[in-house]
Amino acid sequence: MPTLADLEAALGYRFRDPELLRLALTHPSLAHEQGANQMHNQRLEFLGDAVLQLVITTQLYQQFPDVGEGPLTQARAQLVNRTTLAMHGRRLGLGIHLVISRGEESSGGRTRASTVADAFEAVIGAVFLDSDYPTVRDLVLRICRESLGELEAVPNLSNPKGELQELLQATAPEPPRYELKSSSGPDHDRDFECSVHHRGEELGRGHGRSKKHAESAAALAALQLVRARMAAGEPGEMP
């Protein structure tokens, strides 16, 4: 079974106080099962949400000095929404480390997007308390860059599919094609994964609570790839 040391290795951070990490992984359902005195991760989740908001807001503010409040707010919402945070949490393997009640276990709580996203926020809060702001800032930015790639420009988040199609069809008439890769979770909390392809190449994948939202997330990932290629001046038919 994976250990907390494995999770620390995935995070790239070793806790001075391992109890903070254990608390971050303790689901509130345990309090319902074991009594009100059982501590859980909701307070750390509250703190971690604020830390994430500050880190991402500061990064966007500094990286895009000529972009206004509206697009920056949309970009931040895309980077710190539940689907994106759950994706980060799953890549760290948080689900298998969660301490949850038997009822939550039987209902699939370890894989539920909201549970994993909340745990990710709680872990960020725990890292902040265990270290300092510069340390947690570097950790958050590293995780975001590994998962989403460097943002070369703030895309039109209100219509990423339309922007991607316009960008791609500037060099080739073929429109991008979307595929549903998987769907999981209970009916009230579904998680869809979609990919987007162009001229035989997969350009990005995304998750969402609906197929439409997953396709938009995939389009956003593809936009980042296409814009990075444009900035690098890569040859080929891709713009």
Considering the domain architecture, whether residues 106 and 218 belong to the same structural domain is answered as no
Same domain (yes/no): 16, 131: yes
Same domain, 120 and 200: no
H and E: helices and strands count for the chain: 12, 3
* Residue 15 sits in the same domain as residue 123: yes
CB 130 within 8 A of CB 17: yes
Residue 144 and residue 40 share a domain: yes
CA distances from 116 to 6, 88, 90 (A): 17, 9, 7
pLDDT tens for each residue of 32-86: 766 667 788 999 999 999 999 999 999 888 888 877 787 787 778 778 888 788 8
Cβ 120 vs Cβ 88: under 8 Å: yes
Q: What is the pLDDT of residue 232?
A: 66
The catalytic residues are 49, 121
Structural domain of residue 22, as residue ranges? 4-148
Distance CA(26)–CA(42), nearest Å, equals 9
DSSP 174: P
Question: In the structure, what pLDDT confidence band is assigned to residue 235 with cuts at 50, 70 and 90?
Answer: very low
